[in-house]
Amino acid sequence: MNNNNVNRAPEAKNKKLFWIIIGVLVVVMGALVYLYLDQRQEMNEMVEQMTIEKEELEEEYEDLAIQFDGYQQMDIRNDSLQDLLSREQQRVQDLLEELRQTKASNARRIAELKKELATVRMVMKDYVRQIDSLNATNARLTEENILVKEENQLVKQQNTQLTNANAQLTETVTRASMLEITSCTMLMLNKNDKKTRMVSHMRKMQFDFVIAKNITCTPGLKDLYARVITPNGNVIGEDETKLFAFESGEIPYTLVQQIEYSGEAYNGTCYCIWSEQNQVEEGFYSIDFFCDGNLIGSFPFQLKK
C-alpha cells in the first residue's frame, strides 16, 4: 500500500509539470500570434498611409506639369529661357512617370521624389521671376512705343502722301544703319579684379559684348549706354542726374562708355561697380544696351547667393 502511494506521487508530479508546460506554450503561442497580428496591422496602416502620400505627391507633380504647360504657351521671346523651361518640363514628366511606377512601400524613394519636387519648384520660381522681369521690360517699352506711334500718326495725318513715303524710306534707312549687339557675357570680379564665383566677394560685374558689322552705320565716336536691371525691375545706379534720351523722353542708365565704331565687328568690355553696401538680390537680371537713341541689345543673366 505504501509502495503504490510512493510510485503514484512522481506520476502526479510529472502530469502536473506537463500541463504547466502546455499552459506556458499556449500563452507563448497566443502572445506570438497577437504580436504578429498587431505588427501586420501596423504594416497595413503604414502601407495605406504611404499610398495616400504617394497619390498626393502625384497630384502635386501633375499640377506642376500643368503650370509648365501654361508657361510654354506664353510668348516669351527668349530662346535660352524657352529651352530651360522645356528641359525642366521634361524632367517633371520623367519624375512623375517614375513616381507612378514606384511601389507605395518604397518609402525611401518616395521621400527622394518629394525632395526632387521641392527642387523643381525652386527652379521654377526663378524662371517665373525672369519671365516677369522680361514682361515688365516689354510692357515699359510697349507703352513708350504706343506713345511714339500715336505722335507719328498725327504727323502722318498732317503730311502729304509724298512726305509719308519719304518718312517710311527714312525709317527703313535708319533701321538698316542701327547698331546691334549680338552677344554678351557677364563675369563677377572681386576687389582685386580677379574672376570669382562667390557673389559675396563680387565688387564689379564685367560685361564682354560684340557689336555686329554694319557698313551702313555712320562711323565715329559713339556713346554706348547700358541699363542693368534687377529681378524686381529696378535700374542699378539709378539717379536723376544720369539720364539719356530714348524715343520720346529720357530714362536712367547704369553706365555709359564711349566707343569708336568703324563699321566692322567690335569687341568691347564695360564694367558695373558693385558697392559693398549693395544687397544682392538672388534671381535673374538683365542688361539693356542703347546707342544713337536705339535699344540695340538685351541679355539676361542670373546671380545666386
Q: Is residue 109 part of a domain?
A: yes
Same domain, 109 and 187: no
Q: Is residue 270 part of a domain?
A: yes
Same domain, 65 and 121: yes
Mean pLDDT of the chain: 78
Same domain, 184 and 294: yes
Same domain, 128 and 195: no
DSSP the chain: -HHHHHHHHHHHHHHHHHHHHHHHHHHHHHHHHHHHHHHHHHHHHHHHHHHHHHHHHHHHHHHHHHHHHHHHTS----HHHHHHHHHHHHHHHHHHHHHHHS-TT-HHHHHHHHHHHHHHHHHHHHHHHHHHHHHHHHHHHHHHHHHHHHHHHHHHHHS-HHHHHHHHHHHHHHHHH---EEEEEEEEE-TTS-B-S-GGG--EEEEEEEEPP-TTSPPEEEEEEEEEE-TTSPBTT--TT-EEEETTEEEE-SEEEEEEE-SS-EEEEEEEE--TTSPPPPEEEEEEEEETTEEEEEEEEEE--
Band (88; pLDDT cuts 50, 70, 90): confident
The per-residue pLDDT for 239 is 82
Band (244; pLDDT cuts 50, 70, 90): very high
Band (223; pLDDT cuts 50, 70, 90): very high
Band (76; pLDDT cuts 50, 70, 90): low
Domain residue limits at 80: 36-132
* 139 pLDDT above the threshold of 60: yes
Q: Is residue 285 part of a domain?
A: yes
Q: Is residue 3 part of a domain?
A: no
Kindly report, residue by residue over 172-193, the tens digit of the pLDDT: 445 556 899 999 999 999 999 9
Same domain, 196 and 294: yes
The per-residue pLDDT for 172 is 43
Kindly report, residue by residue over 143-163, the tens digit of the pLDDT: 777 776 776 776 677 665 445
Q: Is residue 276 part of a domain?
A: yes
The per-residue pLDDT for 132 is 67
Same domain, 83 and 190: no
**Count of domains forming the chain:** 2
